[in-house]
Amino acid sequence: MNFLLIIGTIGAGVGLSAGLAFNLRLARSLGTPLSASLVNFVVGAAVLLGLWLVGVDGVRPTRIPPLWMLSGGLFGATYVALSLAGAARLGVGVSTVAVTLGQVVGAMVITGMGWFGQAPQRPTGTGLLSAALLLGAVAMLARDREQPADGASADERPAHAQGTKAA
């Protein structure tokens, strides 16, 4: 196990959570999560285009890949929009752990079925336990999010304090 690679990957996850928090503020500023998602992709595309133009990776495409391979962009846009909408209603913590659960389950299904060119691999007990623990974490965090800090039930709090506003 490459310790530095794991630390770097954890850092990428922290970056996703921070990005989600920034995008949540952007959604509030612009009025909707979808507009914030669009701004996110425009800025990201501009950065990537700049990096590509200066030759950061040193490689240029020599052919157009099969169209199905471009669906990653569809999944990326869907991820940003749904995670931002979820964070607006559930909070960054619940949303981030729920996304992580989705990634773990998705990875088990994709590798288990051998989809998208992955070598088929049966889910392990460790992988299933990890998913179950994440499911428990999502449930606990969501339940905790529903509990008011002041001890009043959600029905007793004023509407503006219940967190029901979309963005």
Looking at the chain, the whole-number percentage of residues with pLDDT higher than 90 is 34
**What pLDDT, in 10s, does the model give residues 85-105?**
888 888 888 988 999 999 999
Q: Could you tell me how far CA 159 lies from the centroid of its own chain? A: 28
**What pLDDT, in 10s, does the model give residues 21-72?**
898 899 999 999 889 999 989 999 999 888 888 878 887 777 888 888 888 8
Mean pLDDT (the chain) is 83
Looking at the chain, the whole-number percentage of residues with pLDDT higher than 70 is 88
Cα separation values, 34 from 78, 96, 167, Å: 10, 18, 11
